């Protein structure tokens, strides 16, 4: 398919990228392009300017701090995360990235692109909410940190506004995590997904695909009854489509919440 | 560096250097097929699902319908045309032929590139690893059994 005419720039520095994004209302950051190029073909998005982030070295890489915090550059690909020895400090990250689409998409798609596109069926928004990640956003006004559960604002909308860039995702240490999904075909788009993260006796659950943003739940305990009650009390009103009715998505949310918690509990 | 709608790019494709001026909106697959006349790489779905357009960019397997040609400026690209040397099929291609790993052949260039990428990283993949390796490539004729067998045979 032929794309609409577009201008292209590939800056080497974050500040230059911000200048380019700020200079034109129709400018948009291009990360791995595994969503954006396709929506441009469909004309669902028609940016005037693409600001390719590929050459900005400071947006890449994975660092493990002495306190166990993982810092992931926004342009880090799924494959980088899967292959990274450092990223194994939080094993769930590589495990979930390895369930996204296929080799080709994992080679190009980035963690920053995944969360900034904030498609409600994406894997990483609920995961990062459950494990309590923090997003670093820079704009002309400077840098700020936003917790993952405040980052996702709506379908395709995040706290990284026009003219801003997500630069880094920080993940605290931990290992008692789980992720359960029912996808459309193996490693396909999720119908419902649930991420769980346990610390001592508390649980954080984030349910994806049932609302515009991940639904964060904090059940009183990790007992099945408490998890079921938390999902019930959330009064989920999921969308329906050709793949699943709203009722079935509600059912999956409960089943997958239990599975995600069980997986996380095994890893205490 | 201000944004441009046309740009001159230089790429190395299968060991040959090409320099072309093109629109920023041009997809890499169109550049390869229409500008360079290397029509081995196919366009199947044009939505990033089928993998018929798979090529290697700087050694990394990608779907060339989900990348702009300008993004590949300076890159080393490998396409299916680069596999056979001096008109002789390479081991992987011969294995596809020997195991009847194709029917209509439309998906084959992408399958071969995905298998090439897999075998470079993993000299003796298991069946599961082979299936995971070609997950992004869809065959609509006949299924994957013979394709998996061919890749396994090529690995040995």
Find the domain containing B38 and state its range. 6-82
Sign of the CA dihedral with A28 first, then A34, A37, and A43 last? negative
Chain B residue numbers with beta carbons less than 8 Å from the beta carbon of A83 are: none
What's the mean pLDDT in A121-141?
97
CB contact under 8 A, A8 and B7: yes
pLDDT in the model for residue A202: 82
Chain B residue numbers with beta carbons less than 8 Å from the beta carbon of A104 are: 51, 54, 61-63, 66, 114, 136
> Are B103 and B150 members of one domain?
yes
Number of other CB atoms surrounding residue A163 within 10 Å: 18
pLDDT in the model for residue A29: 98
Asked whether residue B1 is assigned to any structural domain, the reply reads no
Q: Looking at the predicted structure, is the pLDDT value of residue A111 above 80? A: yes
Closest listed residue to residue A22, CA positions, set A165, A143, A168? A165
Asked whether residue A163 is assigned to any structural domain, the reply reads yes
Q: Looking at the predicted structure, is the pLDDT value of residue B1 above 90? A: no
pLDDT in the model for residue A9: 98
- pLDDT tens by residue, B17-63: 999 999 999 999 999 999 999 999 999 999 999 999 999 999 999 99
Residue showing tokens 């923090």: A134
CB contact under 8 A, B51 and A104: yes
Number of other CB atoms surrounding residue A47 within 10 Å: 21
- pLDDT tens by residue, A200-250: 878 999 999 999 999 999 999 999 999 999 999 999 999 999 999 999 999
Chain A residue numbers with beta carbons less than 8 Å from the beta carbon of B2 are: 9, 20
Give the end of a domain, one of A171, A194, A228.
A171
Instruction: Please state whether beta strands A142-147 and A152-154 pair in parallel, antiparallel, or not at all (unpaired).
Output: unpaired
> Exposure of B141 by Cβ count < 10 A (0-12 exposed, 13-18 middle, 19+ buried)?
exposed
Average pLDDT across chain A, whole number: 97
- The interface predicted TM-score of the complex, written ipTM, equals 0.97
d(CA B55, CA A220): 50
CATH of the domain at B127: 1.10.150.120
d(CA B117, CA A135): 33
d(CA A45, CA A131): 31
CB contact under 8 A, B47 and A5: no
What's the mean pLDDT in A188-206?
94
Give the end of a domain, one of A109, A138, A171.
A171
> Are A157 and A261 members of one domain?
no
Closest listed residue to residue A194, CA positions, set A203, A233, A83? A203
> Are A61 and A159 members of one domain?
yes
CB contact under 8 A, B132 and A108: no
- pLDDT tens by residue, B99-137: 999 999 999 999 999 999 999 999 999 999 999 999 999
> Are B40 and B76 members of one domain?
yes
Find the domain containing A233 and state its range. 177-266
CATH of the domain at A221: 3.30.390.50
Domain count, chain A: 3
Of B46, B70, B133, the CB nearest to A41: B46
Domain count, chain B: 2
Of all residues in chain B, the one with the smallest CA distance to A99 is B132
What's the mean pLDDT in B130-154?
96
Of B3, B5, B135, the CB nearest to A103: B135
Of all residues in chain B, the one with the smallest CA distance to A42 is B47
Asked whether residue A1 is assigned to any structural domain, the reply reads no
The distance of B96 to chain A (nearest Cα, Å) reads 21
Count the residues in chain B.
Answer: 156
> Are B129 and B64 members of one domain?
no
CB contact under 8 A, A8 and B47: no
Residue showing tokens 């789980």: A178
Q: Which residues pair with B124 in a beta bridge?
A: none
Name every residue in B having a CB less than 8 A away from some CB of A.
1-5, 7, 23-25, 27, 46-48, 51, 54, 60-63, 65-68, 70-71, 114, 117-118, 132-133, 135-137
Q: Looking at the predicted structure, is the pLDDT value of residue B142 above 90? A: no
């Amino acid at each position: 398919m032929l794309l609409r005419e577009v201008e292209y720039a590939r800056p080497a520095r974050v500040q230059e990228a911000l200048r380019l994004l700020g200079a034109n209302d129709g400018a948009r950051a291009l990360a791995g392009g595994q969503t954006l190029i396709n929506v441009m073909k469909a004309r669902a998005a028609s940016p005037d300017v693409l600001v390719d982030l590929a050459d900005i070295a400071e947006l890449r890489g994975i660092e493990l701090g002495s306190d166990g915090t993982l810092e992931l550059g926004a342009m880090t690909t799924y494959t980088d995360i899967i292959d990274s020895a450092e990223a194994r400090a939080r094993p769930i990250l590589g495990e979930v990235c390895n369930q996204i689409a296929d080799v080709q998409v994992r080679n190009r798609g980035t963690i920053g692109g995944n969360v900034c596109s904030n498609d409600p069926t994406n894997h990483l928004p609920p995961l990062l909410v459950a494990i309590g990640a923090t997003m670093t956003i820079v704009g002309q006004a400077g840098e700020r940190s936003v917790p993952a559960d405040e980052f996702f604002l709506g379908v395709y909308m995040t706290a990284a506004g026009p003219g801003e860039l997500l630069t880094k995702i920080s993940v605290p240490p931990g290992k008692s995590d789980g992720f359960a999904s029912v996808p459309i075909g193996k490693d396909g788009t999720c119908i419902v997904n649930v991420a769980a993260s346990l610390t001592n006796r508390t649980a954080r659950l984030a349910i994806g695909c049932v609302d515009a943003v991940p639904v964060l739940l904090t059940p009183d305990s990790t007992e099945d009854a408490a998890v079921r009650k938390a999902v019930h009390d959330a009064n989920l009103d999921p969308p329906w489509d050709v793949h699943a009715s709203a009722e079935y998505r509600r059912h999956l949310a409960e089943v997958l919440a239990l599975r995600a918690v069980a997986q996380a509990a095994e890893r205490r | 560096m201000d944004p441009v709608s046309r740009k001159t790019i230089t790429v190395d494709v299968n060991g040959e250097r090409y320099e072309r001026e093109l629109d920023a909106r041009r997809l890499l697959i169109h550049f390869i097929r229409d500008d360079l006349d290397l029509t081995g790489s196919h366009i199947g779905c044009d939505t990033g699902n089928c993998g018929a357009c798979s090529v290697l960019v700087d050694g990394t397997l990608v779907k060339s319908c989900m990348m702009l040609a300008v993004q590949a400026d300076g890159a080393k690209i490998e396409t299916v045309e680069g596999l056979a040397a001096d008109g002789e099929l390479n081991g992987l291609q011969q294995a596809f032929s020997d195991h009847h790993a194709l029917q209509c052949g439309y998906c084959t260039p992408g399958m071969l590139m995905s298998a090439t990428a897999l075998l470079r990283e993993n000299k003796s993949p298991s069946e599961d690893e082979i299936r995971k390796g070609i997950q992004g490539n869809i065959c609509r004729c006949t299924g994957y059994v013979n394709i998996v067998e061919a890749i396994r045979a090529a690995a040995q």
